[in-house]
């Protein structure tokens, strides 16, 4: 194969990715991160958990009375870890993510948020929702890069997506079932559309549009975590975003945007109501 042919094949592959993303609202890139990189990321966050709370970012709660603790009280998600952890910042700004994101958006991208989900055995899921309901990017929307850090399937609460909803407006959520979801908001699939599972292996990355309806079921396993590192990005043409989010260039420099209304953190959690 000549260099010219290889370049042409790579360009066609990129075009196929972009077309799938725009048609379906999501794209899975398999094996973008290597096994050693994912092991380091898991290890970093398990060490963060062991070190205890970090106010404003990671706030586990202990046992409540004599009953067992909710798994997500012991292993809550870590919010904006890139603000407190160098490895998280490095992954948020990774050049491989940047290359794909800029192809998908057709413009320079800015990093807006990072999160790490532990989702231990027995943990509730997150009801179907739309990310831009929380980020409130204007104009346009956000794009997520969802990095699998474990084998992820239906049994341990892998993601489900509703293809086609990325072409729709933001929906007004209903209230979720607190037995199944740790957040209040729930967007039922529109008539004629259905949620489909996305099974992933460590190092795979799921990119999806901020209007795409997606969520997850509980982790029904007895011994398997479903850890994931999640980042949100916006195009450079965005003018406003919620005040929870501080946008950075992919070089790490602050790029402040105007503040939009109605934004919040990614999912409003149900108030603690005793052990689950």
* CATH number (domain holding residue 223): 2.60.120.620
- Per-residue pLDDT at 173 exceeds 60: yes
Q: Is residue 64 part of a domain?
A: no
- Per-residue pLDDT at 15 exceeds 50: yes
Write out pLDDT tens, residues 26-38. 999 999 999 999 9
Q: What is the pTM of this model?
A: 0.91
The predicted model gives 59-76 an average pLDDT of: 77
Q: Is residue 1 part of a domain?
A: no
Write out pLDDT tens, residues 226-264. 999 999 999 999 999 999 999 999 999 999 999 999 887
pLDDT, position 13: 67
At 270, the pLDDT band (50, 70, 90 cuts) reads confident
The predicted model gives 92-106 an average pLDDT of: 98
The total number of structural domains that make up the chain? 1
- Per-residue pLDDT at 274 exceeds 90: no
Q: Is residue 2 part of a domain?
A: no
Q: Is residue 275 part of a domain?
A: no
Q: Is residue 166 part of a domain?
A: yes
- Per-residue pLDDT at 146 exceeds 50: yes
At 4, the pLDDT band (50, 70, 90 cuts) reads low
Q: Is residue 41 part of a domain?
A: yes
Which position has the higher pLDDT, 221 or 262?
221
Q: Is residue 267 part of a domain?
A: no
- Per-residue pLDDT at 53 exceeds 60: yes
* Residue 112 domain boundaries: 11-58+71-259
Q: Is residue 5 part of a domain?
A: no
The predicted model gives 140-147 an average pLDDT of: 98
For the chain, the three-class secondary structure string (H helix, E strand, C coil) is: CCHHHHHHHHHHHHHHHHHHHHHHCEEEECCCCCHHHHHHHHHHHHHHHHHCCECCCECCCCCCCCCCCCHHHHCCCEECHHHCCHHHHHHHCCHHHHHHHHHHHCCCEEEEEEEEECCCCCCCECCCECCHHHHCCECCCEEEEEEECCCECCCCCCEEEECCHHHCCCCCCEECCCCCECECEECCCCCCCCCEECCECCCCEEEEECCCEEEECCCCCCCCCCCEEEEEEEECCCCEECCCCCCEECCCCECCCEECCCCCCCCCECCCCCCC
């Amino acid at each position: 194969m000549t260099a010219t042919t290889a370049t042409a094949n790579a360009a066609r592959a990129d075009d196929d990715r972009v077309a799938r993303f725009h048609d379906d609202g999501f794209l899975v890139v398999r094996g973008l991160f290597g096994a050693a990189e994912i092991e380091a990321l898991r290890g970093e966050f398990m060490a963060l958990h062991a070190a205890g709370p970090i106010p404003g970012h990671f706030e586990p709660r202990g046992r409540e009375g004599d009953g067992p603790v909710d798994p997500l009280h012991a292993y809550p998600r870590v919010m904006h870890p890139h603000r407190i952890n160098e490895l998280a910042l490095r992954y948020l700004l990774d050049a491989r993510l940047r290359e794909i994101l800029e192809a998908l958006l057709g413009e320079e991208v800015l990093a807006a948020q990072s999160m790490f989900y532990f989702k231990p055995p027995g943990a509730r899921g997150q009801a179907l929702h739309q990310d831009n309901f929380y980020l409130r990017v204007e104009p346009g929307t956000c794009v997520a890069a969802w990095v699998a850090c474990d084998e992820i399937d239906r049994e341990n609460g892998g993601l489900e997506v509703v293809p086609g909803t990325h072409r729709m407006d933001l929906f007004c959520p209903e209230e979720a079932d607190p037995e199944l979801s740790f957040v209040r908001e729930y967007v039922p699939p529109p008539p004629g559309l259905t949620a489909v599972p996305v099974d992933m292996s460590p190092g795979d990355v799921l990119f999806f549009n901020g209007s795409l309806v997606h969520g997850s079921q509980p982790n029904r396993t007895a011994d398997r975590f479903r850890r994931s590192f999640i980042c949100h990005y916006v195009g450079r043409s965005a003018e406003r975003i919620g005040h929870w989010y501080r946008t950075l260039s992919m070089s790490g420099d602050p790029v402040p945007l105007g503040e939009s209304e109605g934004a919040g953190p990614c999912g409003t959690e149900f108030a603690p109501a005793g052990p689950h």
